[in-house]
């Protein structure tokens, strides 16, 4: 890490110039925090905030041997007091900081310009990058909103150096104030340094995925019921939940590689053995969650296929019913047409002989009437036989 501008020798030099703090961290898994609780300035922080305006510097504190020794009101005070602490650690929490604030932190702590640019722009994929003795971590936190039955995603950027931790939050989750309180309640853990804070944050983010997994699983169960109940709106809900599942995959899947990358560097960076155990525990949880999310994606794909099949079957049944109704109508029309034709024959004969022209010989013929009646009968019988053979009657 580059040496700070004014002030005493940097922490890197105090650690023998190896670019790494000699502190090691341990963190036990904790219950998931309340995602609706935002990290707010503590009493006495002195952070000046305009009425109705959310502060960028949410909280800054200095720690020595796992105990808070100072709560500076500004970044400048934080820099000055950290220089005066021979073995202190600064933990600075920011929420949607300004460009000037991030550039001030970059100049003071030697943050890489690319990492600073990512922190300003947000909308980054989860990743872990090492710039010298500074780690830059991007995490996608998630929380399940019960009322709208939706998954809310937020982005968290973490800079970890030999004597500082900087969190840049874009969104409501995770509840970093709960992480800070837990660490302060466990000074033996906090005194292990910035790495302890990093893995506490990782653990909190991963624990925050558990309620989301439960909420999505419940949504999938409800969708399965709606599919077989024939709810017409279920297709839209499947699509929306599939989109959330894809976002959830993008948040969890990269964490598996990130944590395995950290575990691969155990020997190189002489990671504490106890910390290795808890890092593997977090990695196991991430792997389990990632597999669950992959299962959700497959389940939704299958549900969508089943729903499409059921909709197709329903449409086919409706078309078959319409076809059957049309066939029955055609049969009725055949019968009506057949009887109409049969009844038309005597009407035609009767009409011809009812014209009463003077020069119609049959009018004065003695067998004229029987002949007309017989002709009507023969024509009607012939038509009946023809229509009967064609199954029209």
Mean pLDDT of 169-198: 84
**88 phi/psi in degrees, rounded to 5:** -95, 170
Mean pLDDT of 103-131: 87
Mean pLDDT, the chain, whole residue set: 77
4 pLDDT band, cuts 50/70/90, is: very low
**Verdict on whether the full-model pTM lies above 0.85:** no
pLDDT exceeds 70 at position 30: no
pLDDT, tens only, 57-73: 778 889 988 889 888 88
Instruction: Note whether 53 and 75 are within 8 A (CB).
Output: no
pLDDT exceeds 80 at position 271: no
Instruction: Note whether 90 and 77 are within 8 A (CB).
Output: no
Instruction: Note whether 193 and 24 are within 8 A (CB).
Output: yes
CA distances from 231 to 279, 307, 310 (A): 45, 10, 11
Cα–Cα–Cα angle for 22, 65, 274, rounded to 5 degrees: 50
Q: Is 314 exposed, middle or buried (0-12, 13-18, 19+ CB in 10 A)?
A: exposed
Q: Which of 205-209, 257-261, 329-333, 350-354 has the lowest mean pLDDT?
A: 350-354
pLDDT, tens only, 283-303: 888 888 888 888 888 888 888
- Cα 139 to its chain centre, rounded Å, is 15
**Measured between alpha carbons, how far is 177 from 173 in angstroms, rounded to an integer?**
11
162 pLDDT band, cuts 50/70/90, is: confident
**Measured between alpha carbons, how far is 47 from 119 in angstroms, rounded to an integer?**
22
CATH among 3.20.20.450, 1.10.3720.10, 3.30.460.20, 1.10.510.10 for 11-310: 3.30.460.20
Mean pLDDT of 148-172: 87
pLDDT score at 382 = 87
**Measured between alpha carbons, how far is 285 from 281 in angstroms, rounded to an integer?**
6
**367 phi/psi in degrees, rounded to 5:** -100, 15
**Measured between alpha carbons, how far is 223 from 242 in angstroms, rounded to an integer?**
12
CB count, 10 Å around CB of 275? 19
Q: Is 251 exposed, middle or buried (0-12, 13-18, 19+ CB in 10 A)?
A: buried
Greater pLDDT, 54 or 27: 54
pLDDT score at 88 = 86
**Measured between alpha carbons, how far is 113 from 235 in angstroms, rounded to an integer?**
45
pLDDT, tens only, 351-392: 777 776 666 777 777 777 787 888 888 888 888 888 888 877
166 pLDDT band, cuts 50/70/90, is: very high
């Amino acid at each position: 890490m580059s040496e700070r501008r004014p002030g005493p020798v940097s922490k890197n030099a105090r650690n023998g110039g190896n670019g790494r703090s000699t502190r090691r961290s341990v963190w036990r898994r904790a219950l998931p925090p309340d995602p609706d609780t935002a990290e707010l300035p503590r009493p006495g922080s002195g952070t000046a905030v305009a009425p109705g305006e959310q502060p960028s510097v949410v909280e800054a504190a200095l720690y020595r041997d796992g105990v808070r020794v100072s709560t500076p009101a500004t970044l400048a005070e934080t820099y000055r007091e950290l220089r005066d602490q021979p073995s202190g650690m600064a933990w600075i929490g920011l929420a949607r900081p300004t460009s000037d604030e991030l550039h001030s932190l970059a100049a003071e702590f030697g943050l890489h310009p690319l990492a600073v640019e990512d922190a300003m722009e947000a909308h980054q994929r989860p990743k872990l990058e090492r710039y010298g003795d500074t780690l830059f971590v991007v995490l996608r936190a998630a929380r399940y909103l019960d009322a709208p039955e939706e998954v809310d995603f937020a982005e968290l950027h973490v800079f970890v150096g030999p004597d500082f931790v900087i969190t840049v939050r874009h969104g409501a989750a995770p509840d970093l104030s709960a992480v800070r309180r837990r660490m302060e309640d466990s000074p033996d853990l906090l005194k292990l340094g910035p790495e302890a804070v990093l893995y506490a944050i990782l653990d909190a983010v991963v624990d925050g995925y558990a309620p989301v997994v439960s909420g999505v699983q419940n949504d999938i169960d409800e969708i399965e019921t709606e599919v077989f109940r024939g709810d017409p709106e279920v297709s839209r809900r499947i699509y929306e939940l599939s989109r959330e599942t894809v976002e959830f995959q993008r948040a969890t899947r990269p964490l598996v590689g990130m944590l395995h990358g950290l575990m691969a560097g155990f020997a190189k960076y002489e990671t504490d053995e106890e910390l290795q155990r808890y890092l593997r525990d977090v990695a196991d949880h991430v792997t389990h969650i990632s597999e669950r999310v992959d299962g959700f994606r497959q389940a939704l794909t299958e549900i969508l296929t089943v729903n499409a099949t059921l909709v197709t079957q329903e449409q086919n049944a409706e078309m078959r019913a319409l076809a059957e109704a049309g066939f029955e109508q055609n049969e009725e029309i055949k019968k009506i047409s057949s009887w109409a034709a049969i009844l038309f024959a005597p009407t035609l004969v009767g009409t011809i002989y009812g014209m009463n022209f003077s020069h119609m010989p049959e009018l004065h013929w003695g067998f004229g009437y029987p002949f007309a009646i017989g002709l009507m009968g023969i024509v009607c019988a012939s038509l009946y036989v023809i229509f009967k053979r064609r199954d029209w009657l």
